[in-house]
Amino acid sequence: MSKEGNNLQIIGAKAAGAITEDVFVKIASGTAYPGELVVDEAGAGEAILGVSCNEAAAAGDTVEVAIQGIGKLVTLDGTPGSVTPGAQLKAAAGGTAVLTTDALTNTGGRALATSSTAGAKIPIMIEPHSSVKAAS
């Protein structure tokens, strides 16, 4: 399992569908508290819970999710942009990470390395943040 990093806070959840290692995950639709936490790969721009730690998970498997910490790897999208340390990352399709500069977006963390290579795995500081645009 991919659990590299410092002070990672990891929780267990059930996979709603197939989940790849080192991608952003979200709370699956239909999950209600109290009850079992169910997660799925985050889609483009969706609110992020954390980063998957398992090598791979099928629907119904237990998934470990890093929800806070420094150094956890995340996989970059096919066109991630020029990611530099401190840059904010959001989810692209399949939970992969992509650079964002939009202040009103859901982010999953900040990059701790430089890369613009599709599919590269870089360390991040996990800090999920959901931004909601104010009603006008």
pLDDT band of 1, cuts 50, 70, 90: very low
Give pTM, 2 decimals: 0.89
- Whole-number Cα distances in Å, 35 to 11, 12, 32, 136: 14, 13, 6, 35
Nearest to 98 by CA among 48, 64, 132, 54: 48
Q: How many CB atoms lie within 10 A of CB 38?
A: 19
> Highest-confidence range of 10-24, 100-114, 117-131, by mean pLDDT?
10-24
Which band of pLDDT confidence, cut at 50, 70 and 90, is reported for residue 51?
very high
Q: What is the per-residue pLDDT across 55-107, written as a single tens digit (0 to 9) for each?
A: 889 999 999 999 999 988 899 988 877 899 999 999 999 999 999 877 778 99
Q: In this predicted model, what pLDDT tens digit does every residue of 103-121 receive, in sequence order?
A: 778 999 999 999 989 899 9
Give one DSSP letter per residue of 88-103, joined into a string.
EEEE-GGG-EEE---S
Q: What are the tens digits of pLDDT across the range 30-48?
A: 877 777 899 999 999 999 9
For residue 43, what are the contacts with CB-CB under 8 A and spacing of at least 6? 26, 91, 93, 94, 95
pLDDT of residue 3: 57
The span from the CA of 89 to the CA of 120, in Å, is 14
pLDDT band with cut points at 50, 70 and 90 for residue 132? low
Strand positions, DSSP E, the chain:
6-15, 19-20, 24-27, 38-41, 50-52, 56-57, 62-75, 88-91, 97-99, 107-111, 121-129
The reported pLDDT for the residue numbered 133 is: 53
Whether residue 13 is predicted with pLDDT greater than 90 in this model: the reply is: yes
For residues 48 and 24, give the distance between their C-alpha atoms in angstroms, rounded to a whole number.
Answer: 6
Contact 32, 20 (CB under 8 A): no
Residue owning tokens 């721009």? 45
pLDDT of 23 above 50: yes
